Amino acid sequence: MNAVLDVKIGGMLETRLEFHFENWKRWMKKDDVTDGAPGKACGCVGGGYSQSFDDMVDSADVRCAQIMDSIVNSLSAPQRSAVYREYLYAVFRYERLDFQETLTNAKIRSAELLIIRGIY
C-alpha cells in the first residue's frame, strides 16, 4: 500500500480533503447563474421522474461544494484568506503569519468540520 494515500489531515484522508477543495474550487469558478430551480425540466415521463446516475453525482458534488463553502466562510479571516490564495489565486495579506502554516491549520479545521457534517 502506498504511504502517501494513508496521510490524514484532521482525521480525513488528504486525497479526499483535496477532492473537496477542488470540487469547491470548480463550483466557485462556475459561471452558471442559478435561481434554485433545476437546470432541466422533467417533462412528461410515465411513472415519474428519474435522475440519471450522472445527475445524482453532479447534485451530490454541488451539495458538497455548498457545504465546503460554508466551512471556508466559517474559518478565521487569515485561514479563509489562505484557502482563497491556494485555490482561487487571491492575495494573502497577512504578512506576519506564515502562509503554509495558516493553510495547514485551515485544512485541519475544514476536515474536522466536514467529518462533523458527515461528509467523507
State the pTM of this model. Answer: 0.78
Calpha distance 109→96 (Å, rounded) = 21
C-alpha cell recorded at residue 44: 412528461
Confidence at residue 38, expressed as pLDDT on a 0 to 100 scale: 47
Confidence at residue 88, expressed as pLDDT on a 0 to 100 scale: 95
Give pLDDT tens digits for 72-88: 999 999 999 999 999 99
Q: How many CA atoms lie within 13 A of 82 on its CB side?
A: 22
Confidence at residue 43, expressed as pLDDT on a 0 to 100 scale: 45
Question: 105: Cβ–Cβ under 8 A, 6 or more apart, which residues?
Answer: 79
Q: Which amino acid is at 15?
A: T
Q: Is the pLDDT of residue 46 over 70?
A: no
Confidence at residue 4, expressed as pLDDT on a 0 to 100 scale: 52
Q: Is the pLDDT of residue 118 over 70?
A: yes
